[in-house]
Structure 1
Amino acid sequence: MRYFKYAIVGGYIAGITLLFYIIGLLYHQTTTAAGTNNNSVIVEIPQGASLTRISHILSEQGLILSPSAFRLLAYIKNKQKQIQLGEFDLNATMTPGEILEKITSGKALLHSITIPEGYRILEINQLLVSKGLTKGDEFISQTKNPTLLKQLNIPTDSLEGYLFPDTYHFARNTSAQAIVETMINTFKDKVLKKEFLQQAQTMGFSFHEIITLASIIEKETGAAEERKMISSVFHNRLKKHMLLQTDPTVIYAIKDFDGNLRKKDLSMDSPYNTYRYSGLPPGPIASPGLESITAALNPSETQNLYFVSKQDGHHQFSTNLSAHNMAVRKYQLR
């Protein structure tokens, strides 16, 4: 009988000891950093990953001591469903609690990407894909999203010209729709100003027409000081009901343009062919910067109707065809 009592007491002591050991072990594993190496480890939390999978990813990278202890910690703090997608900059000196806080706070690693002025949607898509921010044509598809088009109330089926060229910062798993919305919102903030809209109306243009003209100006010159001069030529030609005859619009209409604009291209049947159809094309041909939009609204006061490249990044302007032909012979046929 005495032996039986000792066995029961011994069992209780052993059980309590084991319990304290487990509690101590879990406390150690949920509060202690996995190592002393503070080198950055970029960890990607993929879409659809379960808490179990995430805990094993962290363990495999040497960032936590125990996957099960990390999961327990997530449940204790009620953060098991708050883990964000994306890449996170972590290191082995962070405690499991610090790591959990980082990956549930939305502070994912951001990638910087600069969209140059004059890029068209196809080029922006290529840039995003090269940076690993989008895949395939998912970005292009979103630029035709009717819901997004309604935000700007534009009379085309594409956001060409309305994705503002700027430097952006996106997390790796940002959706293509969110990227497009960010660019639209930047356009709204920087371009859709009351004075711009009123100025376009006063000039007799819709704002869509101004953005279309600005995109042509953007593609015609990279010289800031010439933008208003280029704008003047197009405004003067529009007033005289002359064809705009601008190469960039034709190039825009050519699928898989190889860099060589041929004579036959100038007669192609496309509403973007300004050698064949009068007025502005149906919509922008690229994303214009703020300077080109300002130039479209504020052309220089000239009588110029022509310009030709000097082959040095600048242009020679002329008021009549005779002077223009002389400039062509001087700068293009020498």
Structure 2
Amino acid sequence: MRDGESDDPSTESGGEPAVTDERRRTRHRDQGRRAEGMDPERLRYFTQPAEGTPHTRHRRRRSAQAPGTTGPIPGLTPATPPGQRATPVRIPPGGQIPQQPRTRPVPPAADGQTEARTTPRASRPAEPQPPQPAEPHASRPAERQSPPRRPVPPREDRPVAEAETDTDFIVERRPAPAPDRRVDDPRDADDFRDADDFRDVEVPEPSSAQPRRLREDRADTEVRALHDPGEDDGWWPGVDDVEEPAAPRRRSREKQKQRRAVVAVAVVFMLALVGGIGYFGLKTLGVFDSRKDYTNAAGTSDVIVDIPDNSTLADFGRILVDADVVGSVRAFVDAADGRPISGGIYKLRTQIPASTAVEMLTDESATHRVGRVVVPPGLQLDSKTGIDGMVTPGIFQRIQDATTVDVNGRSEGVTVAQLEEAAANSTPEELGVPSWAKEAVESMTGDHRRIEGLIAPATWERVEPQDSPVQILHDMIAKSATMFESWGLLDKNNSGLQPYETLVAASIVEREVRHEEDAPKVARVIRNRLDRDQKLEMDSTQNYTADVTNIDVHGDAYKADTEWNTYRYKGLPPTPIASVGMPALEAMLDPAPGRWLYFVTVDTAGTTRFADTFEEHKRNREEACDNKLVSTGCQ
């Protein structure tokens, strides 16, 4: 039994006096409000001792000195400045006494007793001095002395107004100590032998926290627990009561998770990007391409394949694979070996070796080409037989030859008769005739030659065999009109003629001239004769309707009664007499300056002589007679 403890049965185990009903009623009579008329001493010491029991306030003093004596223990008496209250600290059931603020002795009061007050930490100097070690209790061994406390930086206390102060006490929480360092060291127990000695001590919180006031019901419970250790509700106020906030740690963990997620997404994206680029790069190089190839050169069936212009060899390969012509793109590209191949429509065989497909596509005779029509300058719609017996296929014949194809026993394409019918009886709109030629075309409805000269000389790569004759003619005439206009027929015409008349005159230049440098002079002869209202008397116009064309016009040919015979009729013929190329059209748009009225070709090389008078012209004809180029009119 410790010094000063009573063996009275009214005390509970541990030497603490029992909490009687009288003490409970006295301590909680006016909870939360300062009771008027109550003894301040009783209120400050929480309760009055029962009669016959020792006062707990003097137990500590008796234990530190000789039995029966009273007075403060130097260095341990808590000194509290006037006007401040101490925070009660509960002694937990385990006997571990939490740390409380140190006290220093104050001068004795008038009644001869010494009051213990704690000095707020804010009142300590800026550079704290280590506190003097407290004198050990007489009843404790030396090893139980409290070690020196670590100085605490000064802080600013917030004064509490008396009007806002709880009736019995103010409990403030202190910040939690460092991790794993609880203020329950048994060595410090001697400094807190009795919670009643610190009834007026107010424990300040760190400057970042405001004093937190416990609810009245909890305050009641805690004060009762100070005097009744047997009642353990699992909570007691003290320096360990305030835990370190977990919100910053949670935010830090969340930020770390977010950073990890962002890094993971970035890594996945980069891997996908690198993998995709690598895959497409290898695919472009043909690493994953199949090398399948067929071996039967005869193939299995016919197929029409349309290859767009400007296609690469890989494009050729993909189209042929889709049409089942070759086994793989890689096989075709390897077989082509970089050779240029023109786009167009081809008749091929299915399931043939890639090398065979390349040979069919690059055949110079264009045997396997379909729908390719070549229209040279000066070609007419109808086929013509020359004086030498050779037949020159006309435009209609060439269209028929290009579109007629046999596909697995089924014939496709258009015929000359179908084209003549469409040209003679279709409307100008259906035929794609431009507005500047529409009147002349309508005036000759029923004659297929009304569209003569409206198809420009070019290589027509895609004349679809499946198209109707009207559709074929429409496409060719509409595109030709665009070509004529781009050559300057509408905006660069200095001939003094209408656009359609200019095209008619240019067709005569096309048929009469062998060398381009002579074209502007021939255009000037036509323009001078028209200005003088003189017959053109051009052999080319007479040969347009002749069964056999001949440069040496003679006999009845001069007398042929056709509108195209300029030996008989003045002015221009009703239609062009051939397809007009760009050089002939440009020459007619801007004829060369001169007074020429006559010209004649004097040799087989195409040498042409020009004359202003008929006498000069006759001398030029004699040169042609001497060269045996003509016989008509020779001596």
Instruction: Tell me the TM-score normalized by structure 1.
Output: 0.66
Q: Which of the residues 296, 302, 305 maps onto 2:597?
A: 305
Residue 294 (structure 2) aligns with: 36
Residue 160 (structure 2) aligns with: none
The 1:36/1:333 distance shift into structure 2, 3 A limit, reads closer
Q: Which amino acid aligns with 2:455?
A: L
How much has 1:191 moved relative to structure 2? Answer: 0.9
The reply to whether residue 124 of structure 1 matches residue 406 of structure 2 is no
How much has 1:91 moved relative to structure 2? Answer: 3.3
Counterparts of residues 180-329 of structure 1 (less than 5 Å):
180-193=473-486, 195-200=488-493, 203-254=495-546, 256-257=547-548, 259=550, 261-311=553-603, 312-329=605-622
**More displaced stretch, 221-230 vs 174-183:** 174-183
Spell out, residue by residue over 1:7-44, the C-alpha distance to the aligned partner (whole angstroms, 9 max, x if none).
xxxxxxxxxxxxxxxxxxxxxxxxxxx98327485714
Residue 459 (structure 2) aligns with: 167
Spell out, residue by residue over 1:209-251, the C-alpha distance to the aligned partner (whole angstroms, 9 max, x if none).
0010010000001211111111111111111111111011111
How much has 1:111 moved relative to structure 2? Answer: 4.0
Residue 219 (structure 2) aligns with: none
Residue 351 (structure 2) aligns with: 92
Q: Return the alpha-carbon distance in structure 1 between the equivalents of residues 434 and 549 of structure 2.
A: 33
Q: How many residues align?
A: 253
- SS of the aligned residue for 1:317 comes to strand
The reply to whether residue 139 of structure 1 matches residue 419 of structure 2 is yes
Q: Which amino acid aligns with 2:374?
A: T
- SS of the aligned residue for 1:331 comes to helix
Q: Return the alpha-carbon distance in structure 1 between the equivalents of residues 509 and 534 of structure 2.
A: 17
Spell out, residue by residue over 1:98-146, the C-alpha distance to the aligned partner (whole angstroms, 9 max, x if none).
xxxxxxxxxx964432111001111111222334353232222233321
Residue 434 (structure 2) aligns with: 152
Q: Return the alpha-carbon distance in structure 2 between the equivalents of residues 322 and 175 of structure 1.
A: 55
The 1:320/1:172 distance shift into structure 2, 3 A limit, reads same
Q: Return the alpha-carbon distance in structure 2 between the equivalents of residues 109 and 307 of structure 1.
A: 42
How much has 1:322 moved relative to structure 2? Answer: 0.5
How much has 1:199 moved relative to structure 2? Answer: 3.7
Spell out, residue by residue over 1:277-312, the C-alpha distance to the aligned partner (whole angstroms, 9 max, x if none).
111111101111111111111111111110011222
Counterparts of residues 106-121 of structure 1 (less than 5 Å):
110-121=370-381
Q: Return the alpha-carbon distance in structure 1 between the equivalents of residues 470 and 455 of structure 2.
A: 12
Q: Return the alpha-carbon distance in structure 1 between the equivalents of residues 378 and 507 of structure 2.
A: 7
Q: Return the alpha-carbon distance in structure 2 between the equivalents of residues 251 and 208 of structure 1.
A: 21
The 1:181/1:150 distance shift into structure 2, 3 A limit, reads closer
- SS of the aligned residue for 2:430 comes to helix
Q: Which amino acid aligns with 1:148?
A: E
Residue 49 (structure 1) aligns with: none
Q: Return the alpha-carbon distance in structure 2 between the equivalents of residues 269 and 225 of structure 1.
A: 33
- SS of the aligned residue for 1:120 comes to coil
Contact 2:495 2:591 (8 Å CA) reproduced: no
Q: Which amino acid aligns with 1:191?
A: F
What value does the CA root-mean-square deviation take over the aligned residues? 3.3
Counterparts of residues 32-111 of structure 1 (less than 5 Å):
36-37=294-295, 39=297, 41=299, 43-44=302-303, 89=348, 91-92=350-351, 110-111=370-371
- SS of the aligned residue for 2:609 comes to strand
Percent identity for Structure 1 against Structure 2 = 23
How much has 1:88 moved relative to structure 2? Answer: 5.1
Q: Return the alpha-carbon distance in structure 1 between the equivalents of residues 613 and 569 of structure 2.
A: 21
Higher relative contact order (CA 8 A, sep 6+): 1
How much has 1:319 moved relative to structure 2? Answer: 0.9
Q: Return the alpha-carbon distance in structure 1 between the equivalents of residues 607 and 474 of structure 2.
A: 35
Spell out, residue by residue over 1:160-179, the C-alpha distance to the aligned partner (whole angstroms, 9 max, x if none).
00001100113443432233
The 1:305/1:188 distance shift into structure 2, 3 A limit, reads same
- SS of the aligned residue for 1:143 comes to helix
Spell out, residue by residue over 1:72-107, the C-alpha distance to the aligned partner (whole angstroms, 9 max, x if none).
xxxxxxxxxxxxxx865453279xxxxxxxxxxxxx
Contact 1:117 1:289 (8 Å CA) reproduced: yes
Contact 2:519 2:584 (8 Å CA) reproduced: yes
- SS of the aligned residue for 2:617 comes to helix
Contact 1:309 1:331 (8 Å CA) reproduced: yes
Contact 1:43 1:87 (8 Å CA) reproduced: no
Larger gyration radius, structure 1 or structure 2: 2
How much has 1:264 moved relative to structure 2? Answer: 1.9
Q: Return the alpha-carbon distance in structure 1 between the equivalents of residues 457 and 592 of structure 2.
A: 24
Please identify which structure carries the higher helix content. Answer: 1
Contact 2:487 2:586 (8 Å CA) reproduced: no
Q: Which amino acid aligns with 1:152?
A: P
Q: Return the alpha-carbon distance in structure 2 between the equivalents of residues 137 and 222 of structure 1.
A: 32
Contact 1:306 1:320 (8 Å CA) reproduced: yes
Instruction: Tell me the TM-score normalized by structure 2.
Output: 0.36
- SS of the aligned residue for 1:197 comes to coil
Q: Return the alpha-carbon distance in structure 1 between the equivalents of residues 562 and 416 of structure 2.
A: 27
